């Protein structure tokens, strides 16, 4: 198993309350721990591909990072970021995926990372649906291998930025262990049937007509995955969570 780690190179994203810290600096430090832990303690070969950001945008450098990673021929691409929503209540672990079928892996991996680093799990969003068409995911969509971008914590709020900066090692180890557990599970699990794959492929289309589309996609996909896993308790909990979330949004929208 070969994992290419692409740290955020967003050098202009300042950590609130920490004048010398950027998202890039934090992500590079976390990535070093992920690589070290995977290479040392698990049967996983990991390599970091990082080109420091420059200028107003970092697209050219990101493309170079991808070119270097592609030449290494990895099985999985992971980009490590922290969020900038400026809201302590939004802190957590958010997975961004390139394709709808990747959501299945994003949910499992994201929940394991969240458990390991003791942060809430926020969801697995897909390019063009919940997630913006960001450059990392756009690049990833052109490849035939899996990958994800993980947002860990939040750096636009002073307390949250400080937590991230003070837990670099713990976050790095947590991500590495989640990857190792996740891919050991994938190696052993029974492959999904054609019917299950088709069900996942249809999920995005089945819920697009819902007015509350982001909530519907997130919960409906997780409900389907819980059904595939035959976890009826999880199905019931997710249904209740979905109804509560929709009711909250209806009140907020006045509908």
pLDDT one-digit tens code per residue, 175-187: 999 998 877 655 5
According to the model, what pLDDT value does residue 67 have? 93
According to the model, what pLDDT value does residue 208 have? 41
Report whether 37 contacts 48 (CB < 8 A): no
Tokens 């819902």 appear where? Answer: 210
Q: What is the pLDDT of residues 153-209, one digit of tens each?
A: 999 999 999 999 999 999 999 999 999 887 765 555 555 566 655 555 554 444 344
DSSP class of 156: S
Average pLDDT estimate for 79-92 = 80
Cβ neighbours, 10 Å, residue 251: 9
Kindly tell me if the per-residue pLDDT of 69 is higher than 50: yes
Q: Which fold has domain 2-188?
A: Aminopeptidase (3.40.630)
Give the integer Cα–Cα distance in Å for 135 and 139.
6
List, in sequence order, every residue forming a beta bridge with 47; answer none if it has no partner. 4
Average pLDDT estimate for 135-142 = 90
Structure tokens at 58: 């970092």
Kindly tell me if the per-residue pLDDT of 91 is higher than 60: yes
Q: pTM of this prediction?
A: 0.74
List, in sequence order, every residue forming a beta bridge with 37; answer none if it has no partner. none
Give the integer Cα–Cα distance in Å for 163 and 166.
5
Q: Bigger pLDDT: 242 or 153? A: 153
pLDDT tier at 38, thresholds 50, 70, 90: very high
């Amino acid at each position: 198993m070969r994992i290419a780690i692409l740290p955020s190179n967003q050098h202009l994203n300042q950590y609130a309350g920490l004048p010398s810290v950027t998202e890039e600096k934090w992500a590079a430090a976390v990535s070093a721990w992920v690589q070290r832990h995977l290479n040392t303690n698990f049967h996983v070969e990991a390599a970091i591909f990082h080109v420091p950001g420059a200028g107003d945008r970092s697209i050219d450098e990101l493309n170079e990072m991808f070119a270097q990673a592609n030449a290494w021929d990895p099985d999985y691409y992971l980009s490590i970021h922290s969020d900038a929503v400026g809201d302590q209540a939004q802190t957590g672990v958010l997975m961004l995926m390139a394709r709808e079928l990747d959501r299945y892996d994003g949910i499992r991996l994201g929940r394991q990372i969240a458990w390991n680093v003791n942060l809430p799990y926020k969801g697995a969003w897909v390019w063009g649906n919940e997630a913006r068409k960001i450059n990392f995911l756009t690049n990833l969509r052109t490849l035939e291998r899996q990958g994800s971008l993980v947002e860990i914590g939040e750096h636009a709020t002073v307390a949250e930025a400080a937590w991230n900066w003070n837990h670099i090692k713990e976050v790095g180890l947590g991500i590495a262990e989640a990857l190792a557990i996740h891919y050991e599970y994938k190696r052993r699990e029974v492959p999904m049937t054609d019917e299950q794959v088709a069900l996942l492929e249809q999920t995005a289309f089945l819920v697009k007509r819902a007015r509350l589309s982001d909530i519907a996609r997130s919960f409906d996909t997780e409900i389907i995955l819980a059904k595939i896993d035959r976890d009826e308790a999880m199905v019931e909990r997710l249904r209740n969570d979905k109804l509560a979330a929709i009711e909250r949004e209806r009140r907020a929208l006045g509908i």
